[in-house]
Amino acid sequence: MSRTATLGLALAAGPEQAPAPPALRSDLRLIAEMIEPRTRVLDIGCGDGALLGYLARGKSVDGRGIELSQSGVNACVGHGLSVIQGDADSDLDAYPDGAFEYVVLSQTLPATRHPRRVLENLVRIGKRAIVSFPNFGFWRIRLGLLRHGRMPVSGLLNQEWYDTPNIHLCTIRDFVALCHHIGIRIEHSLPLDRHGRPYSLDPRGSLANLLAEQSVFVLSREKT
């Protein structure tokens, strides 16, 4: 085959495509629905970049990410995403006030050393913060602790206590009380089952704290 023909085949095939980002979890899809198109988004603890990739393709957001693990950063960069290696506990202080329309912290809050300070930074950096976390008040967790007297291994909390990255587990009620204590406004909330399907329950009520395995909150700073 001639050099010209080979070049023609290469041009017809087009440039090599980056690997497609992984499929989006149902709870992340709910978070994505809360985010307006063409906004600035910071995803903290972004993992493999599934949410950022979805938002970039579907909503044309200007997305940035922070991820602690090198493997997660490598996966994000491989998908063409703008992600740096960093720690929510120590690196958020460097971001200016109101730098993003949305700051996302999905299933990462229990792994932080200073959750109160992290939440304060979220609503300072973003006009809105979207936070999701597993609910330690879920009835199966309560029952497992009552029956076996050991730290539960169930659903989202699927690691033994000595292997889990979670160091500050909380219930939905705990989270609501913390937001109230530090002056963070709860704009919206969705109690969810383990598959990310929402319940129509008041997060301040006992049923949400009992039945929801996880929850998503939209937060903002109280106006002064």
Residue type, 48: D
Instruction: With beta carbons less than 8 A apart as the criterion, state whether 52 and 66 touch.
Output: no
CA end-to-end distance (rounded Å), the chain: 73
List the one residue out of 198, 189, 174 whose CA is nearest residue 129: 189
d(CA 104, CA 119): 11
Confidence of residue 222 (pLDDT cuts 50, 70, 90): confident
Per-residue model confidence (pLDDT) at position 155? 62
Per-residue model confidence (pLDDT) at position 204? 76
Confidence of residue 167 (pLDDT cuts 50, 70, 90): confident
Confidence of residue 62 (pLDDT cuts 50, 70, 90): very high
Q: What are phi and psi of 188, to 5 degrees?
A: -160, 150
Per-residue model confidence (pLDDT) at position 6? 38
Per-residue model confidence (pLDDT) at position 161? 64
- Residue 202, in any domain of the structure: yes
Per-residue model confidence (pLDDT) at position 4? 40
Per-residue model confidence (pLDDT) at position 162? 67
For position 152, which CATH number holds? 3.40.50.150
Per-residue model confidence (pLDDT) at position 8? 40
Enter the pTM of the model: 0.84
> Which residues lie below 8 Å from residue 136, measured CB to CB, with a gap of 6+?
157, 169, 170, 171, 174
- Residue 7, in any domain of the structure: no
- Domain total of the chain: 1
Instruction: With beta carbons less than 8 A apart as the criterion, state whether 66 and 46 touch.
Output: yes
- Residue 5, in any domain of the structure: no
- Residue 82, in any domain of the structure: yes
Residue type, 68: L
The two three-digit tokens of residue 95, written as one number? 């971001």
Residues of the domain holding 76: 18-221
